[in-house]
Structure 1
Amino acid sequence: MRGRRFASQQDIERHVANGFGAGAGVSYVPWLRVQDVPSRGRSHKIQGVKVDRTHHLFSDLERFYFLVCEFSEDVVDIREQYPLFPVERAQAIATAIGVRYPRYPKTTLPYVMTTDFLLTVREPDGNFKSVARTVKYRSDLVGKGSKRTLEKLDVEKRFWNSQGVDWRIITDEFFTPDLIKNLGLLRKYSKLHRDLMKVPLHIKFIECLESSREYPWTLATCLRKIANHLSISYIDAQGIFFHLIWTKALKVDLVSTPLFLTAPVPTFEVFKIPVQASMKENLS
């Protein structure tokens, strides 16, 4: 799919009329897509498991944070590459603080600035709010060449703060290699075949897993024994184990414990009984 032109105000207005940068949930369309910015390096188009649409991410770091947002139970909607509209408000902020507002290359057209992620999160009291998050490598924020980046981030911060929206920078220091690998693995098991999604099966699986605590087994050995006991395949036992972690039925240290099948069974806590979640869904 071809990228879009940003050469005139008419181009901007046409893209707005076509729904770019608008909507929520599955109907949201990012202001920028991967094909619109071909020079951005390691970009990703990922089909969401929390929000069932294609997400456009412009760096590995954005992908890492996207995994965290999908895993979080507090995040209910993820809107990436969200535009700072109206542009006039962002321009006014830049002027007020003495920052040169960016323009599209080879034009005098004011650039439509974007925030990497505008999230809808559920608060402890059950209410919802929007938070804005920008994802940056720490190296881009310090030293030579960082001045212009920091200027634009200041405009972005003030834009959101003026609307009462919490804005923060997420850097690569937020992630560990184990967390990234673990979430990438677990996400593959966010959904299982219908036969493996039965609550009684999950309860029996957890009972078998708890009874294995006293044995010095590797995770692979443990899952094979559980598979034999429940008359399911080893691959299905693997899927259920990782799915239960993704759905928070099992709580495991994902930050510093790699989920290797050849490693010992990771320390786990039964955090949420599957039948309770099922009953809650049936009552809603």
Structure 2
Amino acid sequence: MRGRRFASQQDIERHIANGFGAGAGASYLPWLRVQDVPSRGRSHKIQGVKVDRIHHLLSDLERSYYLICEFSEDVVDIREQYPLLPLEHVQTIAASIGVRYPKYPGTKLSYVMTTDFLLTVRESDGGFKSVARTVKYQKDLEGKGAKRTLEKLEVEKRFWQSQGVEWSIVTEEFFTQDLIKNLGMLRKYSQLPRDLIKSSLHVDFIDCLENSRACPWTLAECLRKIAYRLSISYADARGIFFYLVWNKVIKVDLLDAPLLLTAALPEFEVFQTTGQAFLKEKTS
């Protein structure tokens, strides 16, 4: 699908009228899509498992943070490429702090700034709030070339302050590469076939897993033995294990070690009911 280009105020108004940058949950339409932005790196279109729609992520770093948001039980909605509107309000903020407001390349048309992620998160008292997160590589925030980036981030920060929304920057220092690799693999098992979604099967699976703690087996060997014991296929046993890890019934170290079938059975804890997500977000 061809990307959109903004050459006039009418183009922006048409985009707003068509619902881009509006909605929530599965009905949200990101202001920018992958095909709208000339890529200077890798971009991703990902079918959500938490929110049932295609998510448009403009860098590997955005994808990494998106995986963390999907895994977190505290995050209930993810809206990426969220526009800062109305435009006049954002321009006023920029003018008040002496920042030159950006234009679309090759035009005199004021640019619609966006925030990488607007999240709806569950609070400890059961309520909900919105938080805004901007994702940047650390190198883009340092040195002489970072001045313009920091100016625009200050405008973004003040916009969200004016909305009463918490805002912060996320860099690659927020997570480990092992965590991202693990989450990228685990989310493939976020759902199971209907015949494997049986609480009795999961209880029996966990009992077998508990009985394997002291055995000198690799994870794959352990799962093969559990599969034989429960009269299911190895692929089904593997799927159940990763499904239970993704859904936090089984907790293993995802931060500092790759979850490999060829490695030793990892140390684990079992939670019969999924409680609070163990991965808590840090803010910068």
**TM-score normalised by the shorter chain: which range applies?**
over 0.9
- Once residues 39 and 239 of structure 1 are traced to their aligned partners in structure 2, the CA distance between those partners, rounded to angstroms, is 35
For residue 188 of structure 1, give the secondary structure of its aligned residue in structure 2.
helix
User: Could you tell me which residue of structure 1 aligns to residue 38 of structure 2?
Assistant: 38
Matches within 5 A, 1:96-107: 96-107=96-107
* 1:174-199 CA distance string (max 9 Å, x none): 12111011000100000111111111
The reply on whether 1:170 has 2:167 as its aligned counterpart is no
* TM-score relative to the length of structure 2: 0.95
Aligned structure 1 segments of 4 or more residues deviating by more than 6 angstroms? none
CA contact (8 A) 2:136 2:170 kept: yes
For residue 145 of structure 2, give the secondary structure of its aligned residue in structure 1.
coil
User: Could you tell me which residue of structure 2 aligns to residue 150 of structure 1?
Assistant: 150
- Once residues 239 and 185 of structure 1 are traced to their aligned partners in structure 2, the CA distance between those partners, rounded to angstroms, is 11
Equivalent AA in structure 1 for residue 120 of structure 2: T
The reply on whether 1:237 has 2:245 as its aligned counterpart is no
Over aligned residues, Cα RMSD in angstroms?
A: 1.1
Instruction: Specify every segment of 5 or more residues in structure 2 that has no aligned partner in the other structure, as ranges.
Output: 276-284
* TM-score relative to the length of structure 1: 0.95
Name the structure, 1 or 2, with higher relative contact order (CA <8 Å, separation 6+).
Answer: 2
User: Could you tell me which residue of structure 2 aligns to residue 259 of structure 1?
Assistant: 259
User: Could you tell me which residue of structure 2 aligns to residue 188 of structure 1?
Assistant: 188
For residue 272 of structure 2, give the secondary structure of its aligned residue in structure 1.
coil
User: Could you tell me which residue of structure 2 aligns to residue 60 of structure 1?
Assistant: 60
- Once residues 39 and 244 of structure 1 are traced to their aligned partners in structure 2, the CA distance between those partners, rounded to angstroms, is 36
CA contact (8 A) 2:161 2:167 kept: yes
Equivalent AA in structure 1 for residue 37 of structure 2: V
Q: CA shift at 1:253, angstroms?
A: 1.2
The reply on whether 1:202 has 2:202 as its aligned counterpart is yes
User: Could you tell me which residue of structure 1 aligns to residue 282 of structure 2?
Assistant: none
CA contact (8 A) 2:39 2:58 kept: no
State the aligned residue count: 275
- Once residues 26 and 177 of structure 1 are traced to their aligned partners in structure 2, the CA distance between those partners, rounded to angstroms, is 29
* 1:90-119 CA distance string (max 9 Å, x none): 111111111101011111111000000000
For residue 63 of structure 1, give the secondary structure of its aligned residue in structure 2.
helix
Instruction: Specify every segment of 5 or more residues in structure 1 that has no aligned partner in the other structure, as ranges.
Output: 277-284
Matches within 5 A, 1:7-26: 7-26=7-26
For residue 264 of structure 1, give the secondary structure of its aligned residue in structure 2.
coil
The reply on whether 1:220 has 2:216 as its aligned counterpart is no
CA contact (8 A) 1:203 1:273 kept: no
